[in-house]
Amino acid sequence: MSNVAAAPSSFWLASLGHIETRRKLDSDISVDIAIVGGGFTGLYLAYYLKKHDPALRISLLEARYCGFGASGRNGGWVSALVPFPKGKIEDDYSLEMARAVDKAMVDGLEEIQRVIELEAIDCEFRRGGTLFLARNKIQEERLKNNVEEENRYRHSPPHVWLDSGELSCHLKNVDALGAAYDEACARVQPAKLVRGLADVVESLGVDIYEDTSVVGIVPGSLTTRDSFKVRAKSIVQCTEAFSSSVTSPIGGSMIPIYSLMVITQPLADSFFDNVGWSKYETITDGRNLIIYAQRTDDNRIAIGGRGAPYSFGSKLHARSERNPKITDLLVKALKELFPHLKDVKIDYEWGGAIAATRDLIPNIYYDEVLGIGASYGYVGDGVTSSNVAARTLRDLVLGEEDTELTSLPWVNHRSRQWEPEPLRYLGVNGSILVARTIDYLEQRDVEASFLKWVLRALVPK
């Protein structure tokens, strides 16, 4: 192992201590399959291919270290959520297809749990479901409608509405009128999951090269920044928000959007005596500008949210990973949810980029003639989607084209291009501003119908 200094990009990674970087690629090599990117997608893909055929020669190339990207930084929700409305799939395909998407996600959660247990990955997995708290009358109505709408697509477990009395079996003394509850969600310490997965994959015989940036892919080979070549029959790019860092003949269109997080110091036992939260449910509310929270094993609250400004030209900047204004908004959201949480101290703040396609549908594809594939565009719901995508890519790479997974609507789906700048900048940042204003008004029981119409026009459904 080389020992390249690796600054932790999240509380989760920092809490693992010093991260020793694996060896970098320092010669030309030939393998059967090359995978670019050591996040959940790339690692699960390596895992499933190697499990299918241990004789396959697989190399995974990672620019920094496994888990450096969103996989080591996220909110740890292993949910059945997708970033697009399933009604769109029903309209464009069929009711059965929309149900198949939901089933694939619930199965994805089960599969992640199976792998964690089978491989004994210590990642603080707890399956307590997720609560969508209604913090005002307008959110309550919207969330009740969502329960009905989601159950149209759900086989099992059903989404349920909890009134304030029923909610108190999960959370007490919280500022909410009730909540929608979905049992199909777990929480993890994500850096432990991604780093544990990398160790498992390596133990199966996959060669992982870290500190190895890939700059270009052509049919049959890829080239690294140090000008080494990897020849491979199949090459799959799993670089999510970083996807434009690699040139590839199959291209694609996505933009990076920053999601930011903070984590509190460990809270006193008296706090949990007061609020319950004994099943470690993940928590959000019905606002438009999403927030997401989890209780950690050491009794902290990790809370994240959207709303960080989009950078002109879809640029990735380390400075976009922290934003005092968003930190303040997250702390405010936390105190609003738990009104008696007055003097909460924040231990760490961080952020990371997620990838959004123009129609919010992930793009999972493989061109068998070129032998090149890719997967990206999970927005903020990639912990489970990356597993679903990896098993789908496994089927595609192995030439098994007619499986349950390969018939899902995001397979070989190519979203349309984002608008050119400055329209893109104005549209994305405009939608953040509009969503924040609607949330402000809804908290004051104002419907904001016109702004909702504007938001629908900016964010495609």
Ligand X SMILES: Cc1cc2nc3c(=O)[nH]c(=O)nc-3n(C[C@H](O)[C@H](O)[C@H](O)COP(=O)(O)OP(=O)(O)OC[C@H]3O[C@@H](n4cnc5c(N)ncnc54)[C@H](O)[C@@H]3O)c2cc1C
Binding residues for ligand X, rule: CB under 6 A, are: 36-42, 61-64, 68-71, 73-77, 79, 213-214, 238-242, 245-246, 259, 261, 292, 304, 351-352, 354, 378, 380-384, 386
Least CB distance to ligand X at residue 1 (A): 17
Least CB distance to ligand X at residue 372 (A): 14
Least CB distance to ligand X at residue 397 (A): 16
Least CB distance to ligand X at residue 150 (A): 17
Least CB distance to ligand X at residue 236 (A): 11
Q: Which residue number, 251 or 422, has a Cβ lying nearer to ligand X?
A: 251
Q: Which residue number, 372 or 454, has a Cβ lying nearer to ligand X?
A: 372
Question: How many angstroms separate the CA atoms of 60 and 210, rounded?
Answer: 8
Q: Which residue number, 68 or 310, has a Cβ lying nearer to ligand X?
A: 68
Bridge partners (DSSP) of residue 375 are 364
Q: Which residue number, 62 or 439, has a Cβ lying nearer to ligand X?
A: 62
Burial 187-221 (b: 16+ CB within 10 A, else e): bbbbbbbbbbbbebbbeeebbbbbbbbbeebeebb
Within 13 Å of residue 195, how many CA atoms lie on the same side as its CB? 24
Question: How many angstroms separate the CA atoms of 101 and 96, rounded?
Answer: 9
Tokens 């291919």 correspond to 49
Kindly write down the DSSP assignment for every residue of 171-227, as one continuous string.
B-S-S-SEEEEESSEEE--HHHHHHHHHHHHHHTT-EEE-S--EEEEETTEEEETTS
Q: Which residue number, 63 or 89, has a Cβ lying nearer to ligand X?
A: 63
Q: Which residue number, 73 or 126, has a Cβ lying nearer to ligand X?
A: 73
By the 8 A CB rule, do 275 and 338 touch?
yes
Least CB distance to ligand X at residue 379 (A): 7
Least CB distance to ligand X at residue 6 (A): 11
**Nearest C-alpha neighbor of 47 from the set 270, 274, 200:** 200
CB-based closest residue to ligand X: 382
CA angle 360, 365, 367 (to 5 degrees): 150
Q: Which residue number, 256 or 454, has a Cβ lying nearer to ligand X?
A: 256
Please report, to the nearest 10 degrees, the dihedral formed by the alpha carbons of residues 43, 46, 48, 52 taken in order.
Answer: -170
Least CB distance to ligand X at residue 61 (A): 5
Q: Which residue number, 24 or 135, has a Cβ lying nearer to ligand X?
A: 24
Provide the residue type at 172 as one letter: K
Q: Which residue number, 271 or 378, has a Cβ lying nearer to ligand X?
A: 378
**Nearest C-alpha neighbor of 153 from the set 104, 117, 109, 193:** 104
Q: Which residue number, 190 or 448, has a Cβ lying nearer to ligand X?
A: 190
By the 8 A CB rule, do 305 and 225 touch?
no
Supply φ then ψ for residue 353, to 5 degrees: -95, 140
Least CB distance to ligand X at residue 190 (A): 7
- What is the DSSP code (8-state) at residue 242? G
Least CB distance to ligand X at residue 392 (A): 13
Query: Which pair of structure tokens corresponds to residue 82?
Result: 């997708």
Question: How many angstroms separate the CA atoms of 201 and 60, rounded?
Answer: 10
